[in-house]
Structure 1
Amino acid sequence: MTDPIAAIRNAAATARWAPSSHNSQPWQVEIEPLNSMEMRHVHIRLDETARLRALDALDDEMAISLGLFAGTFCRELGSAGVPYRVSADPPTALTIRVGPAPSRKPEKVQERTDEIRARRTSRGAFSPRLLTVSDRKALQTRQWTGLGIGTAASVQLLEDAVLRQSVAGLLERYGAQDFSHFAAWSETYAHIKFVPASALHEGRGFSIESILGPLSPMRRSLMRIVLHPVTMQFLRPFGLPRAMARSLAELAFGSPALVVLVAEDTRPEFFDLVETGNRLAEIWLTAERQGLCLHPLSVLLQHPDARQALRQALGLSGQPVFIARVGEALQPAPPSPRIPTDALVTYRPPAATAAS
């Protein structure tokens, strides 16, 4: 057995490809010094400089984003044969006891990394292909180990046209509210990169091309102006936010299915949301294996009235904490950038030794 630090770094390098709201990657990994048992304590917490703050509901999204990372991180450790144990570290962090690592490098490390890197968030149109029995079973069956710190939300697949029409109606009704909310849209706009997707390698956010497809330099510059938060406010009386909401509604109704994660409690705890993020990481990768993509519809969860309307429309007793359309993408989505592993992982300095 050896010091697990290499396994920790490899797990972080892979987990940084997990999805997060706006591709904000609001994660920090801190490694404690090695102790005599060749164990490492790893602290995974929200990066206060990267987390989204424009709306209160974004706290839930940040917790789920943390769970997406932590779940992928722990899956990578487990697949590499490295023992670990997760514990809660109130109020917004996890502590993972890791190691020691096996002396021999496990097989298929690159295969697992490639699988996670291949995952995409597809914001374009989906094909009319319906979900198969195999798709449904795969998406609803647990294959990963839970983190053991909370209760994950349950998974519901909505394929009925009437329900999809209800959700589409809510998107058209409430989507404009989000797109015209100055603080919320300013935060979203800050993560949109008005450059070709091929030019994004490191950093946060996503290319405008992931929404609109390939653009000429002139149209890219035009969209930078049109979508600016100040311009959006100016164009609000002329219906631009409503038009954007209508387009999103059409995409949702045209999708073969929606996936909804529903927490038992109407006010889920932080660690239940982190556990839900771990479950969502499993669903997202399972969808990729089935040839499917996810596109979150977060505008229905970021304002209390929209979330309540969604609960009523779907007849839910619990709280919806995630909703996305799911289907086969007509065009492959471009990859999003990622911050370097060295910017993600830090090392806690050893405690000072008292002078004798």
Structure 2
Amino acid sequence: MSVETKNVTISIEKAKISKIDQVDFDNLKFGSVYTDHMLVCDYRNGAWQAPKIMPYQSIALDPSAKVFHYGQAIFEGMKAYKDDKGDIFLFRPLENQKRLNISAKRLAIPELPEDIFMEGLTTLLQLDSDFIPTQEGSSLYIRPFMFASGNGFHASPADEYKFIIACAPSGSYFSGKVKVLIEQTYSRSANGGVGFAKAGGNYAGQFYPTQLAIEKGYNQVIWTDDTEHEFIEEAGAMNIFVRINDTLITGPTSDRILDGITRKSILEIAKDHNIPTEVRKITVTEVVNAAKDGSLKEMFGAGTAAVISPIAAFGYKGTDYDLPELENSYATKLKKLITDIQYNKSEDKYGWRYKVNI
């Protein structure tokens, strides 16, 4: 069968047997079980083809597919939420669509039309709506991604690409207190590089230094700049916020730092709730001194998967610094304000909530 949306015709092959009975919605891990269907759209002969929805399945690629050799691969992270009436919502999905194309352009991948992204995504969610959890803190994690499927060993952009959206009902990304290590040797990205893009290679390069930190008893790495390792940039795979006294500070976006959707939402909400904010470079020295004199009140990571992940302690040059446990933290307040919008529990004066009609 096929459906005609406003601008796109999407062919649909439904799964013969649903896997939903195998999903334990009360004990969901993050991104480890998958919905019945996925959306696939191919780029070939210089154009994006008609998208298809098909049963979730493996894909076959030639060993010479350029994604394996030259790393042309990008992705996004999104969530779908279901309120107590069963209505389905996305959070700022057009920001994800725009950022996907920013990443695509940087990696010489053809940009994807907005209607294929949005109409393909909403049709997929309509089909797999029963997989969207209703348990507190759970959601349907959505992974749109693109990669070079064209073949050849020549070091050049591919001539064929594949865009896929796959989904996974998921629980919380992080649980418990997070202890981080300020990195002084390795770098996540460099000036003129691809740090601002959601490129797979960015994350692959993080795994080794993160593993070294884990072996030392930390959960994650705080990334610093690539030259002097003096400026704090990101927390693991998230943007980072630092609260000194009552002011919430985050670094400016750049070639090296991802323009996080949660990050920009936090800044706007904080301003509306009279939380002083600054977007400026933050030095490691400033953070360490603030920890020593007691003016460092909070640090937290911000991103789609965890929304906000409070940092309980950080390590730097052999010394660990504990952060205070606050009764009314900015992290707790801001996370609730954002998730209440996402789950349709509060007014959305920003127009961020996007309803998916079923």
**TM-score, shorter chain, exceeding 0.5:** no
Indicate the structure with greater strand content: 2
* TM-score of the superposed pair, with normalisation by structure 2: 0.25
* TM-score of the superposed pair, with normalisation by structure 1: 0.25
Relative contact order (C-alpha < 8 Å, sep 6+): which is higher? Answer: 1
Indicate the structure with greater helix content: 1
